[in-house]
Chain A
Amino acid sequence: MPKVTGEFAYSSDLSAAGMLWGHTLRSPHAHARILEIDIAGALSMPGVHAVLTHEDVPGTKLYGLEFADQPVLAVDRVRYFGEPVALVAAEHPEQARRAAERIRVEYEPLPPVVDPERATEEEPLHPGRPTAGHGYRDDPRPNIVRSLVIRHGDPDAEGDVSVSGVYEVGVQDQAFLGPESGLAVPDGDGGVDIYVATQWLHVDRDQVAPCLDLRPEQVRIHLAGVGGAFGGREDLSMQIHGALLALHTKRPVKIVYSREESFVGHIHRHPAKIWAEHRATKDGKLVNVRVRILLDGGAYASSSTAVTSNAASFACGPYSVENALVESTCVYTNNPPCGAMRGFGAVQVCFAHEAQMDKLAQELDIDPIELRLLNALGPGGSLPTGQKVTGTLPVADVIRRAAAMPTPAPEELPRDPIRLPGGSGNTTRGEGVKRGVGFAVGFKNIGYSEGFDDFTAARVKMRADGGAEVHCAAAEVGQGVAGVILQVARTELGTDDVVLAPHTTATVASAGSASASRMTWMASGAVRDACRAALEERERTGGRDVDVERTYRHPRTTPLDPETGQVTGERSHVAYACAAMRVVAEVDVELGLTRVVWIGTAQDVGAAMNPQAVTGQIEGGTAQGLGLALMEEIQTRDGLITNASFTDYLIPTTLDMPPVVSELVEEPEPDAPYGVKGVGEPPTVVSTAAIVAALRAATGRDLTRVPVKPDDIVGL
């Protein structure tokens, strides 16, 4: 409710008495040596209270989600365009910006590594980084973030037919609307409170504290209102910078990124190049799938190692494949750093495996839906990692239900140009417009994988009168987990008198990340367990006030074998969710303009806790996939981002989005509390593939790269 009145406080809305504004000076180079930084000119500017460089970082100089390879502030080298170099705090944001312009940084530009296909032949960008460790395969080539090979069955097995293709995915941005921002407030005892929009409060704290040379409890992270996340807030943005300025000036410091800064200041979806070969019997049974995936991780590791592995696990799609060879490699370059974005490696490979399935269907002259059903994975089947599917995975069901959805009849001409490709640009009366129907199916894991100790804590304080306060650090990023927590607590405690305390590191242990479609499952489990424990405790103590905290863990996962990519225990993933989608598109084949007319989808959602919120996730996730299919790409030239604005980086508007009809396929997940599954990612995984399939059907072209551009459609 406060979100519709303007009262809800987002991270950029905060203020405090005596507050200063922070600003970050960023590198104009993709790769350069730093020879000298002179801050004198900036310090003498009006309103300026502090100008800080790497020399002012009191603790460790590097941080990172998986490897601490990213400098808080660049030390002697910058590795990407927009890398933070210095900080300013001033009375007014404009004073801070102007002072930052007066910091004189002497750079010696270095040739940037920008071609991921050649990165392993170039000088290492992180010379000190060990090539082995973390249980990963040792790959001594320079600039490898992680490489993974999955050998399953007989990777040389032959089929009756074979189809091959090379597919490319451009760099997508999360483009959440709330810019990175937050307020850091010194506590007067050397510690700091940071109010910020993030996805995982405790992992922020554990990265921030060592850089500030503070104990974890001296850094308290509080969730401010989050204006969207989609993976882009897994990595730190202003947290350490704001805290450094606040501790240095002894004043509260607010930092708010501009949109341009947001585009260069956070990680993106990995661009990918995928070489795929599918071998099958003449009846259409997949015999062997061979896939090579190259991901450009950009300058720093972020969560690239997990994306590399996810892309590999889902490379063959939700199909039973007895033999497979999958190589997935992520390299360091001087391109913008990449990390988590909704779909997390599964989006890129879905685009490739679904194009391949359509190609195979054409080669064999089999109906593409029938081909998918013939090969559909399900419970009891195996992934190429050798993991048996133990929970629910109704692939055949979502395919059948999506395929059975009636598509709208073609609309008569003439019609209002707003309902033609080109829209209000009024570029056609309908001549040259062709219609196509596409289909795709995809899947993805839920929860953290490969042996990661994935848990969520919840704390319930229950008063004698039965009312309760729930503490859980699960980040509400717009997905609705706050509502889920309250729904679970009210159901379990049997009362509506339940409030959700502010999300913070100060009062409860970690919730893990609002990522990997895991938060509903994990928070439900933790809150359920804490509520039940609170009721038991109250019963035991004869109705007194109780205060209990419980930690929920999903079934344990184990790492993949570093040599074979096969599971070392029962499972490397906890569970999966799948979705199938049918798309009708119209394409002006003369001008290369497109209009998606209608989307129908059937999604495996476990048990839907809040059907309205579930369909909201499906519609929104589909829109992000539509963006990647048709318009969204971070453009770079020699590593420099050239379209860091909503003028030049387009995301779907009301004019781009068709109606999305969703069918929820509800099969409760046996391992999950209340049978829930995460629902946020499958629509994004599948929609890019399904939309491009419709464009192929309309145009007859291969369209092997997304976003599809008018030139690709026209054949220029």
Chain B
Amino acid sequence: MRISLRVNGGTHETDVWEGESLLFALRERLGLPGSKNACEQGECGSCSVLLDGKLVCSCLVLAAQAAGHEVVTVEGLAQDGRLHRVQEAFVAAGAVQCGFCTPGLVVAAADLLGKNAYPGDDEIREALSGNLCRCTGYAKIFDAVRSTGGTL
């Protein structure tokens, strides 16, 4: 079937098979592989995107369901060639090792900070608990998010 997706402010017409997830369509149809395919069952958060401003796992949304809605992926966070502050903070804090979880965490952290400019530690823990990271033990991810608090 043919659908139209609004992603990062642009409109994309694409053919999809009815069973394809939004994640698959982003990665394989639209050439936006930033959202990651770590579990494809909604457990790891690596594929996190904003759908009409709401944080979702794009692996659990059918591509066809997303038609007509506004999608923001990790590729859409940087504006005018400038990194989003969360992205800058992740680099500065050393919060990236293999980096496979990073796009999802950056989107989730940006979502948190958009709602709560000064999250406490427990709020950060709770907000990011749906994003698995296997490399960092999360310490430097906390550092990154803490350092960004209030700067948005």
Contacts and interface: CB of A to CB of B under 8 A. Distances in A.
Interface of A: 1, 3-10, 12-13, 15, 92, 94, 174-179, 225-230, 256, 258-259, 416, 418-419, 424, 477-480, 612-613, 615-616, 619-624, 645-647, 651-655, 657, 659-660
Residue of B28, B36, B44, B135 with highest tally of chain A CB at under 10 A: B135
Nearest to A175: B134
A619 B99 contact: no
Given A6-B103, A227-B100, A177 B46 contact: yes
B152 interface: no
B68 interface: no
30 contacts: A3-B96, A4-B90, A6-B35, A8-B99, A10-B36, A10-B100, A12-B36, A12-B37, A94-B17, A94-B19, A176-B134, A177-B100, A178-B38, A178-B98, A227-B100, A228-B98, A418-B125, A419-B122, A613-B94, A615-B140, A616-B139, A616-B140, A620-B97, A646-B39, A646-B41, A646-B44, A651-B132, A651-B134, A654-B129, A654-B138
Contacts of B138: 619, 623, 652-654, 657
A619 B129 CA distance: 17
B99 A3 contact: yes
B137 to A, nearest CB: 4
Interface residues on B, range: 35 or more
Contacts of A179: 37-38
B149 interface: no
Contact of B91 (A1, A478, A613, A621): A1
B135 A620 contact: yes
Interface in B109-152: 122, 124-126, 128-142
B58 interface: no
User: Which of B96, B97, B102, B126 has the most C-beta atoms of chain A within 10 angstroms of its own C-beta?
Assistant: B97
B17 A5 contact: no
Contact of B37 (A256, A615, A645): A256
A506 B98 CA distance: 24
Contact of A660 (B38, B98, B126, B137): B137
Contacts of B101: 177
Contacts of A175: 134
Contact of B41 (A624, A645, A660): A645
B137 A646 contact: no
Contacts of A418: 122, 125-126
B122 to A, nearest CB: 5
B128 to A, nearest CB: 5
Is chain A's binding surface mostly helix, strand, loop or mixed?
loop
A653 B35 CA distance: 19
B27 A13 contact: yes
Interface of B: 17, 19, 27-28, 32-41, 43-44, 46, 73-75, 77-78, 83, 87, 90-91, 94, 96-103, 106, 122, 124-126, 128-142
A228 to B, nearest CB: 4
B43 A226 contact: no
Nearest to B93: A612
Given A4-B91, A4-B102, A5-B34, A620 B44 contact: no
Contact of A228 (B39, B75, B129, B135): B135
Contact of B98 (A13, A227, A258, A646): A227
A6 B33 contact: yes
Contacts of A226: 98
A25 to B, nearest CB: 19
Contact of B140 (A176, A225, A619, A621): A619
A461 B124 CA distance: 46
B40 A259 contact: yes
Nearest to B43: A646
B149 to A, nearest CB: 16
B41 to A, nearest CB: 6
A84 B139 CA distance: 38
Given A177-B98, A258-B40, A5 B87 contact: yes
Contacts of A419: 122
Nearest to A21: B28
Contact of B136 (A7, A256, A259, A616): A616
A429 B116 CA distance: 27
Nearest to A480: B97
Given A13-B27, A177-B132, A646-B43, A4 B106 contact: yes
